[in-house]
Amino acid sequence: MATFMVVYTPQYFEPDCSLGYLARRVHQIGSLALEPVYASEGLTGPQWSALAQLSFRRGATSAELARDMAHDKGAMTRLVDSLEANGWITRERCTEDRRAVKLALTEQGAALELRVRLRVINCWNAWLADWDEGEVERMIAMMQKLRDTLLTKTSEGVSR
């Protein structure tokens, strides 16, 4: 049995020191604050996230987007339907595997994603204006390390 460092104890596990709680609250607060940006372009947060995932090539099918966004496959299908209905993406059967349907941004969808991305960047830059560059770099590096640790440990079946 491997030994590990004990970070949390029953006496030291409350919301303001819980990584899970803090990550969720940061996500909730940021998402809520960005809603007007999305709404001004006729989008929802999940729709913009899907457009961004396609733009950054983090998924090319509905199933890949659902996995990367931790979204239910049925809900993702409805989300993709709405993106297609608005003319922001196209669906095309994969020539190698007829069961797979590839998604791609249209010119209109790519332009929309970029407009919104620039506004999101402006929001984050304003929110982080009081942070120094080193703090931001360390936070990003730590969040990436935590993500990678969670992916590794959960794929190994490590949970206690």
- Per DSSP, helices labelled H in 86-128 are 107-127
Q: What are phi and psi of 142, to 5 degrees?
A: -70, -40
Q: In this predicted model, what pLDDT tens digit does every residue of 93-143 receive, in sequence order?
A: 877 777 788 999 999 999 999 999 999 999 999 999 999 999 999 999 999
- DSSP characters over 42-54: T--HHHHHHHHHH
pTM of the model: 0.85
- The widest CA-to-CA distance across the chain, in whole angstroms, is 57
Q: Is the pLDDT of residue 40 over 80?
A: yes
Which helix H or strand E contains 101, and what residues bound it?
Answer: strand 101-105
Query: Rounded to whole angstroms, how far apart are CA atoms 134 and 151?
Result: 26
- pLDDT of 138 reads 97
User: Closest Cα to residue 47, out of 29, 26, 31, 25?
Assistant: 31
Q: Is the pLDDT of residue 2 over 70?
A: no
Average pLDDT of the residues of the chain: 91
User: Closest Cα to residue 80, out of 38, 109, 39?
Assistant: 109
Query: Rounded to whole angstroms, how far apart are CA atoms 151 and 19?
Result: 15
Tell me how crowded residue 160 is: count the other CB atoms within 10 A of its CB: 3
Q: In this predicted model, what pLDDT tens digit does every residue of 42-61 receive, in sequence order?
A: 999 999 999 999 999 998 99
**Structure token pair of residue 129:** 């204006």
Query: Rounded to whole angstroms, how far apart are CA atoms 50 and 74?
Result: 14
Which helix H or strand E contains 90, and what residues bound it?
Answer: strand 89-93
- pLDDT of 158 reads 64
